[in-house]
Amino acid sequence: MPITEIVPIGTHIWEAFGLLSQNPGAYTGHGPLPDDGTYHTNISPVDGKPLPAVQRASSAAYDTLVRRAQEAFLVWRRIPAPKRGEIVRIFGEKVRQKKEALAQIISYEMGKTYQEAQGEVQEVIDMCDFGVGLSRQLYGLTIASERPDHRMYEQWHPLGVVGIITAFNFPVAVWAWNAIIAAVCGDTTIWKPSEKAPLSAIAIFSLLQETIREHDLPEGVCTLIIGDAQIGQQMACDPRLPLISATGSVRMGRSVAQQVAKRLGRSLLELGGNNAVIITPHANLDLALRAVTFAALGTSGQRCTSLRRLLLHESIFDNFLQKLIAVYQQASQRIGNPLHPETLIGPLIDRTAVQTMQEALQEVKDQGGKILFGGEILEGPGYESGCYVRPAIVTAENDWPIVQRETFAPILYVIKYQTLEEAIAIQNSVPQGLSSSIFTENLLEAELFLSSRGSDCGIANVNIGPSGAEIGGAFGGEKETGGGREAGSDAWKAYMRRQTVTINYGDTLPLAQGIRFEI
């Protein structure tokens, strides 16, 4: 039986974050700003009921936020980095204490399962832990000088006010990837979350406000603005924001990149993915089956790292496909309210996403593909929102226009290949380049996949799926995915400016390259 029991989100959860009343659209670290923007009410994809209203901020509110962020930057940058890390640590503890309540809001607002929502909040906590350590490791380099009695080194300084634009599918984690690192680096931030998930943003930001107030930090260290695409456009065009980090569609990212480039600013883009898994005859097929299932069905196919294309060797094609369809049949019995503990697959974000999925499936059929499983819109008790679908498995050819595009829905294109070189070529033959995986226990196959002749994606995995990246590595992709890198490794360098320093501690003035200039 499908899971249709409605698990309500308690009033106390909304109250804990002050979300029951009408929510202003602009926040500084010391509270909301007066505003004259219009109010907007989203509908929960879980049960179709209206969510608490949120005000869309005006252009005047945006300008006020940026000015306060600029003023706060002058103070924040002077606080030693380890002290900034301590503020991040305290904020992380507050998030840890409210993890379950935050997860409920995320789940009910955008539809991912409660388990996945808890994982997203944990990612924020992990980023805070990472940021604490990073605050003592913003290293420069010592460089050998060719001139006697000279010392050269490299140091890093904060940029200023960083603009952060995030998408609905990870309404708090992607913000943390950026905001935590920016804060440790000495930047102030202005965050525009997705219009489809503003309540999750306001909820977690309320904990940050608490932290800022408790430590008497300047208003504007971190700010939040709720608005439509016009606010995002203002951010992209605003020379007061030296860096814009934007997560979303390729179309949105291209627009942001063009506007930022016009003013010679920096952009950090995390855009679409069209991720593939290659399964070879030397794979552990049981392991691959489990990985494929989560990668394709997690967050109802609404991750930028979701599995879109499954490349199966011809010798295992029929056998693996038969097992996969059986697993999909089992998983489809656990589609329903994402707050229910037995649910595996929740709803899509809204009915527009459902319609986009149906149009994609029709295009597959028009191009000659066959739907092997699923694709239907679910109806009946518990599915009243109209946002529930049965995940689809379809046969396809990689060069079809529909396969070349990213459809943000649980559609899995199954493609047959003959040689590993052919499979790698198929995987790389899309405009996007985010995440990729191969399943094999053959060392030579794995190494070829990871070589310069292998995957052209920013993320390459062996014997794990393409989704579920850890925060310790730099996250991002190539080609139309945007080229940005966020979270771990040395991604922090995107939020700072590099300065090369030379000190002459002698009493002569030798010039580089042996140049002589004497008067």
Written as six digits, the tokens of 128 are 């805070």
Instruction: Tell me the sheet residues that pair with 415.
Output: 311
CB contact set of 107 (below 8 Å; sequence gap of 6+): 46, 113, 114, 116, 117, 338, 339, 346
- Residues 187 and 179: their CA atoms lie apart, in Å, by 9
Written as six digits, the tokens of 519 are 């008067």
State the angle between helix axes of 81-97 and 173-185 in degrees (0 to 180), rounded to the nearest 10.
150
- Residues 198 and 291: their CA atoms lie apart, in Å, by 31
- Residues 62 and 399: their CA atoms lie apart, in Å, by 44
DSSP 8-class letter at 195: T
The three-point CA angle 263-268-273 to 5° equals 130
What distance lies between CA 368 and its chain's CA centroid? 34
In this prediction, residue 18 carries a pLDDT of: 86
pLDDT digit string (tens) for 202-259?
999 999 999 999 999 999 999 999 999 999 999 999 999 999 999 999 999 999 999 9
User: What would the mean pLDDT of 325-350 be, rounded to a whole number?
Assistant: 97
In this prediction, residue 437 carries a pLDDT of: 98
Give the type of residue at 138: L
User: What would the mean pLDDT of 467-483 be, rounded to a whole number?
Assistant: 96
In this prediction, residue 16 carries a pLDDT of: 86
- Residues 174 and 176: their CA atoms lie apart, in Å, by 5
What distance lies between CA 461 and its chain's CA centroid? 18
**Averaged pLDDT score across all residues of the chain:** 96
Q: Does residue 10 have a pLDDT over 80? A: no
Burial class for 366, CB neighbours closer than 10 Å (0-12, 13-18, 19+) = exposed
In this prediction, residue 6 carries a pLDDT of: 47
Helix extents (H) in 53-135:
59-76, 81-97, 99-110, 114-134
Q: Does residue 389 have a pLDDT over 80? A: yes
- Residues 396 and 372: their CA atoms lie apart, in Å, by 11
DSSP 8-class letter at 9: P
In this prediction, residue 2 carries a pLDDT of: 44
CA proximity to 223, closest of 458, 479, 25: 25
> Catalytic residue positions?
270, 304
In this prediction, residue 217 carries a pLDDT of: 97
Q: Does residue 335 have a pLDDT over 80? A: yes
pLDDT digit string (tens) for 413-468?
999 999 999 999 999 999 999 999 999 999 999 999 999 999 999 999 999 999 98
pLDDT digit string (tens) for 22-48?
799 999 999 999 887 789 999 999 999
In this prediction, residue 393 carries a pLDDT of: 98
Cβ distance 203 to 175 under 8 Å?
A: no
* Overall pTM > 0.75: yes
In this prediction, residue 4 carries a pLDDT of: 47
In this prediction, residue 416 carries a pLDDT of: 98
In this structure, the strands spanning 150-158 and 161-165 are: unpaired
pLDDT digit string (tens) for 101-110?
999 999 999 9
Q: In degrees rounded to 5, what are phi and psi of residue 367?
A: -90, 0
pLDDT band for 7, please (50, 70, 90 cuts): low
Q: Is residue 389 helix, strand or coil?
A: strand
In this prediction, residue 37 carries a pLDDT of: 79
What distance lies between CA 40 and its chain's CA centroid? 24
Map tokens 């002058």 to a residue. 74
In this prediction, residue 13 carries a pLDDT of: 87
User: What would the mean pLDDT of 304-310 be, rounded to a whole number?
Assistant: 98
The CA dihedral of 300, 301, 306, 311, to the nearest 10 degrees, is 120
State the angle between helix axes of 285-297 and 317-331 in degrees (0 to 180), rounded to the nearest 10.
50
pLDDT digit string (tens) for 143-176?
999 999 999 999 999 999 999 999 999 999 999 9
